[in-house]
Structure 1
Amino acid sequence: FQVVNAVAYLHSRNIVHRDLKDENVIIDQNFSCKLIDFGSAAYFGHNFLFSTFCGTMEYCSPEVLKGNKYRGPELEMWSLGILLYTLVFFENPFRSLQEAMHAEIELPWEVSEGLFQVIAWLLQRDPQLRATIRNISNHYWVKQSVDLRKYRFQDVLKKYGN
């Protein structure tokens, strides 16, 4: 999962993107993913808390929606969960800010146990219990290999593109 690797790279350098969303991930014809739009990116540290809202409301974590201060990575993990959910189900898991603040996930259809674990861990309401980038990077579902030679970019674009 290339986006996970990109976020891990940023976090390893104490940088948070702060606007992870589907519109900020581009994919080239070789299926290489790139993060774009670093306009909200910032450095984070253990002793520093952000108090300003950045990013896109639909990808914002419950604690930030409530106006709480945050370190950064925990918001990023929530946004990664929204991104994953959106890529799988073609919709945001929450239809309103109230739903996002309650953070109760209902999947529209059944998925593998591994995918469910990753989504549920990323969209954990309590930021202290939410997955870290290291947790997700080491999860078996994220680490499984995908043979991209089985796919043609044009076919995928026809099926899922706008």
Structure 2
Amino acid sequence: MVHLDLKPNNAVVDANGKAKLIDFGLSTRFTPGKKLNRFWGTPIYFAPEIIHKKEFEGPPADVWSLGGLLYAMLTHVSEGAQSLIHDIFTMDPKQRPTIDQVLGHPWLTQGEKPSPSPPCEALPKLPDPTILTKMIGMGFDQYHTSVSVASRKFNYTVVT
């Protein structure tokens, strides 16, 4: 038999302190060397071959899930963190969340709305005269500063 849905919710400890697996609803019999092609279980614990929807052997898939179960048990990762990690580890990079989506994940915001990203403002064509005066007072060259800003260089002068 292979379980095919190993996860923390399906592991319990009995009265004697022994770990027991429960919920064999998705389990199946397997024949050594014969591959399975039904894809079920809990995606966060899927082996890569199942994620790729390839035929797979049951025992190695259970071993992968066991590793995920063991990791979750030993690190005590919360469900919210598990959700975020699962999203981040999306195999298809086009489907992976953006950094803004990661930062807006409920586990990071604890229910608060993420702060909006600052608006991108275009760099001015010429430096602000007040700023230019202060920079000259700091020892910056007026011509070099004006040329750097006008040509949109990202150098020490423009950053200042």
TM-score by length of 1: 0.49
TM-score by length of 2: 0.49
- Select the structure with the greater relative contact order (CA < 8 A; seq sep ≥ 6): 1
